[in-house]
Amino acid sequence: MFDVITKDGSAANKYDFFDADGINKSIIGTVAKNVVRIAPAFVKYVKGPYIALNVALEAAKFLPTIYKSTFGLMSEDNSIANGVEAFAM
């Protein structure tokens, strides 16, 4: 979701630790990305909604996959499941 903050090839893209579409990964960038991602889970009033939102987003990623691998095999039109899955990515 955050891979589009900076444009590929720009000077700012070199320092954008959220950018994960390249082949080169830095340890500092990987650690910083994970710290920024989990830090709101430790803030008192933000913790509950933040964790609930992340659980909902992860469910939106795997539930369409489960649907398509079970019930979706009997149907040729999985456009809704594909749309939900693409939105959550």
pTM of the full structure:
0.60
For residue 64, count CB atoms less than 10 angstroms from its CB and return exposed for 0-12, middle for 13-18, buried for 19 or more: buried
pLDDT in tens, the chain (89 residues): 556 667 777 777 666 766 666 666 667 777 888 888 899 999 999 999 999 999 998 888 888 888 777 776 777 777 777 777 777 66
Structure tokens at 49: 């909604």
Structure tokens at 72: 């979706």
Separation CA 82–CA 15 (nearest Å): 33
